[in-house]
Structure 1
Amino acid sequence: MKTNRIYTTRLQAGLGLISETKQLLSLWTEGMSTSELTKYALGLGVFSNISSRRLKNIVVEGFAPRYLVKDDYPAKFLKQLSSSLSTRAFSQILFIFTCRANPILFDFVCEMYWTAYAAGSEILTNEQARNWIQRAIENGRTTKPWSESTVIRVARYLTGACADFGLLEDVSKDNRRIIPFRVLDEVAVFLAYDLHFSGLGDNSVLSHPDWGLFGLTRDDVLAELKRLALQDWFIVQSGGGAVRIGWQYNSMEEVVDVLARG
């Protein structure tokens, strides 16, 4: 399911930024502003290989829109999970928030990656990404038409971000191989509770577009949650088209504490 938001070039601030995000989370404390985080990181010299301007851009345009969405959310949870989850699981959670902050990446994954995967394609090319962007521009998904050079650049951002998060791998300069991408248990638990505590009802959780980032339909999600219920994360009752989920934890803090303990 696609988003209805306008597409931007914000990915130019950084693609996956996985290692940078881990470093920034290790420095960040609750209540810290983007300017304070940038200044603190510069003072410690942990990003000595990049310029101060580049670091500021990463924090303001990359880190903050993804992980400082509201009242330190989700950074406060990610900081706790960064050293306890596997690299793959943590990266998948970063993938969710990166796609939420970048609708163009969200829709590219759902429309291009998963369509190609379902069709049995082995390769996703930058040319395919460029053509997809051109169609989006024609359909009014940008505030104004993009130049050809911008289209080419953003196409590379999209396939590059997918590679960073483990959906694609390099074959050549303009071609990337499609890699099977399955949501991990810890990530499915995190996402389900994240949606639940955002105020959604059980059926809305099951049918939320975020699951499409992992190629999951509503029925797929229901099957996943039933399986995870065997691990006592939920109680799932379904029958006659109705679904009721018993949520075993009362806050996201509780969920994250359990996930962090492994």
Structure 2
Amino acid sequence: YTTKLQAGLGLIPETEKLLQIWEPGISSRALLDRALDNGDFPTMTARRLRNIISEGFAPRYLVSNAQPATMLKSMQLVLSEEDRKQLYFLFTSRANPILANFVRDVYWPQYAAGAMTVTKRDALNFVEDAVAEGKTTTPWSESTRTRVSSYLLGACADFGLLGIMEAGGRKIMSFRPTSIAANFLAHDLHFRGLSDSAVLSHTDWHLLGLGAEDTLAELKQIALRGEIIVQSAAGLVQISWKHKNLEEFANAITHS
């Protein structure tokens, strides 16, 4: 686990601006220069913007040959605000395992149990357990543990899982994966070379609050729209995929 969330939690407004500026093939350094030249961040120092790009934007969206940024940019005309937010959440969780595990191990169990809030103490307990189990890059000080626990709650709020801070906790918000977010995740996992059963059981679905049965139900909804064919019997699932790669999928979504 790292403290990279300190670069800006959800970074949603900054991500939207940087995606507008970014083009395939340009490096993080070139993106910084272009953002500074364009004056799109007039109240931000060059050092702060550099940190946002290197610690936040690049690890989330410029990995895997910048495929996340490429997909987001190619689908931008058809993505709703909620679609974008959920895809940002997915990529941010992949880049920050501490956030992914907090959502899977703390947020969703609290949600399922009918809890009203996730508290500062819940987040701090999670961080302290992680440090005790040796999951951090270095042993974190008490102040770092407190800061990181607040980052986790703040990031969840940015992505719509939690509400505002009140009386030591953040209210658990109603959350439902959008059809485009679920559709993208299914195809993304498939085009990473996973088997159909591995797609169905992948832990990324848990970020969206979906177990295996829920995921199968989502895939069947996608199938109803004619984008895949799902056959399931006796616990076995077989999926016929219509598109040959993620770019073709994004193009189909954009022109559907």
| Residue of structure 1 in register with 2:107 after alignment | 113
Residue of 73, 76, 99 corresponding to 2:70 = 76
| Residue of structure 2 in register with 1:90 after alignment | 84
* Cα distance in structure 2, aligned partners of 1:32 and 1:205: 31
Residue of 186, 195, 204 corresponding to 1:201 = 195
The Cα of 1:175 is off from its aligned counterpart by 1.6
* Cα distance in structure 1, aligned partners of 2:235 and 2:121: 42
| Residue of structure 1 in register with 2:18 after alignment | 24
| Residue of structure 1 in register with 2:205 after alignment | 211
**Distance change >3 Å, CA 119–CA 235, structure 1 → 2:** same
Aligned AA for 1:61? E
Aligned AA for 2:205? W
| Residue of structure 1 in register with 2:4 after alignment | 10
Residues 202-223 of structure 1 show CA distances to partners (whole Å, capped at 9, x for unaligned) of 0000000000001111111111
The Cα of 1:253 is off from its aligned counterpart by 1.0
The Cα of 1:173 is off from its aligned counterpart by 6.6
| Residue of structure 2 in register with 1:134 after alignment | 128
Paired residues, what number? Answer: 256
| Residue of structure 2 in register with 1:192 after alignment | 186
Aligned residue for 2:63, secondary structure, equals strand
Aligned AA for 1:32? I
| Residue of structure 2 in register with 1:152 after alignment | 146
**Residue pair 1:22, 1:82 contacting (<8 A) in 2 also:** no
* Cα distance in structure 1, aligned partners of 2:85 and 2:255: 18
Unpaired runs of at least 5, structure 2: none
* Cα distance in structure 2, aligned partners of 1:48 and 1:15: 20
**Distance change >3 Å, CA 38–CA 9, structure 1 → 2:** same
Residue of 220, 244, 248 corresponding to 1:250 = 244
Percent identity between the two aligned chains: 50
The Cα of 1:174 is off from its aligned counterpart by 3.2
The Cα of 1:172 is off from its aligned counterpart by 2.1
> TM (normalized to structure 2)?
0.97
Aligned AA for 1:40? R
Residues 152-204 of structure 1 show CA distances to partners (whole Å, capped at 9, x for unaligned) of 11011000000000000004273210012111101110000000000001000
* Cα distance in structure 1, aligned partners of 2:216 and 2:125: 34
More displaced stretch, 168-177 vs 20-29: 168-177
Aligned AA for 1:85? L
More displaced stretch, 225-234 vs 252-261: 252-261
* Cα distance in structure 1, aligned partners of 2:165 and 2:7: 24
**Residue pair 1:42, 1:52 contacting (<8 A) in 2 also:** yes
* Cα distance in structure 2, aligned partners of 1:220 and 1:181: 14
**Residue pair 1:81, 1:90 contacting (<8 A) in 2 also:** no
* Cα distance in structure 2, aligned partners of 1:36 and 1:174: 42
**Residue pair 1:16, 1:161 contacting (<8 A) in 2 also:** yes
Unpaired runs of at least 5, structure 1: 1-6
CA root-mean-square deviation: 1.1
Residues 229-259 of structure 1 show CA distances to partners (whole Å, capped at 9, x for unaligned) of 1111110001122110011111111111122
Residues 98-130 of structure 1 show CA distances to partners (whole Å, capped at 9, x for unaligned) of 000000000000011001001110011112101
| Residue of structure 2 in register with 1:56 after alignment | 50
| Residue of structure 2 in register with 1:3 after alignment | none
* Cα distance in structure 2, aligned partners of 1:43 and 1:185: 37
The Cα of 1:144 is off from its aligned counterpart by 2.3
| Residue of structure 2 in register with 1:170 after alignment | 164
* Cα distance in structure 1, aligned partners of 2:185 and 2:53: 24
**Distance change >3 Å, CA 14–CA 83, structure 1 → 2:** farther
> TM (normalized to structure 1)?
0.95
